[in-house]
Amino acid sequence: MRHDAIVVGGGAAGLTAAAYLCRSGHQVLLCEQNEKTGGLVTSFSDRGFTFDAGIRAFENCGILLPMLRQLGIDLELQSSPVAISIGRERIHLRSRESLADYEQLLARFFPDEQPAIRRIMQEIETIIGYMDVIYGIDNPLFMEIAADKDYLMKTLLPWLWQYQKKMRKVARLQQPVNVFLRRFTNHQALIDMITQHFFTDTPTFFALSYFGLYLDYSYPRGGTGVLAEKLTADILARGGTILTQTAIRSVDPAAHQIQAADGRSFTYRQLLWAADSRRLYQAVAASGRTLPRKLVRHKQQIDDQAAGESVLTIFLATGIEPAQVRDRCGPHAFHTPVTDGLVASGLRCFPQASGKEDRIRQIKAYLAATTYEIACPVLRDPT
């Protein structure tokens, strides 16, 4: 059977693409190598507990909710406030006014840096102002605006003008956030308190905008995996086909054919690869086809990239009463035990260890100073 489109990868991107293709009446096959779809937007259950395997909350950003409305998918969401704690002190980010609480939190630990903290907070407030415009309306890509001339003239066009202005300013905020904050302070431990839970060299806008995105966090009833489940059900209801445990080992672009690891072959008119980029080129090579020169250059660019930092997630099933956890950290928190700072303490990158005991010592020092993201699903959805 020749499919109109084959989507490889059943994470959020692949599921969304397949849902829209099915909505447009195309014959779609989605191939996912794991046992279930969802990728990093999935939940699993163990011993009566439900855990979110990837992301801990959703952000609308003018995209998620209008997309779900357009697809006709109903998702029950509730606000998911974030707490930030250092040592034994904690603040909750519930509104824009909560930024003043965050400023005071930093000032209590770094009293000599109050002028720098004030200037940094002003930068954060400016960036949140950019976000108010960029995400200020529902993304027009997910709206039927052709028939609504009033909306087009009074809302969309004025927004586009403001959007372009703000995006030009955002383009100037792409340097690593640690470098940017050194404009205001040389106190590395203070910089670490603000940034160390981000990946190394995270761009400034991306990092500092999170203090606004935290206010947009929401949590779906049933866990984050409900989104993938509903997208999956929507695809199947519209006539799409989903094959799990189906890893693709070769892609023949000339024949418009892919082959799964178990030997099954599928043909397509269009292929959408929503999976690991390196595996795409490996799969093309496995088919015996020679890549065009342009794609060879693109493959080389990908091959030359080093892997980023990883995230270690520990899932705990405990008998602790939810009320006790609510009092200590709340449903979603970022906790830093001490103010030493990873970069300030030389712990961001481990030096060569002299042996196993030295490496264990380094890891213990890192774990004592790093920032932890703590999510307690039961506090957001007791079911």
Residue 347 DSSP SS3:
coil
Nearest to 38 by CA among 273, 271, 244: 244
What distances in angstroms separate CA 152 from CA 62, 81, 156, 160, one per listed residue? 16, 34, 5, 10
Q: How many CA atoms lie within 13 A of 346 on its CB side?
A: 3
Query: From first to last of its 383 residues, what are the pLDDT tens digits of the chain?
Result: 799 999 999 999 999 999 999 999 999 999 999 999 999 999 999 988 899 999 999 999 999 999 999 999 999 999 998 999 999 999 999 999 999 999 999 999 999 999 999 999 999 999 999 999 999 899 888 887 777 788 888 889 999 999 999 999 999 999 999 999 999 999 999 999 999 999 889 999 999 999 999 999 999 999 999 999 999 999 999 999 999 999 999 999 989 999 999 999 999 999 999 999 989 988 988 888 777 788 788 888 888 887 777 889 999 999 899 888 888 888 999 999 999 999 999 887 777 778 888 889 989 999 999 999 999 999 988 87
Domain with CATH 3.50.50.60 in the chain: 2-56+224-303
Residue 171: DSSP 8-state: T
Instruction: Say which CATH superfamily domain 2-56+224-303 falls into.
Output: FAD/NAD(P)-binding domain (3.50.50.60)
Look-up of token digits 């909505």: 23
Contact 195, 207 (CB under 8 A): yes
Look-up of token digits 């009463």: 321
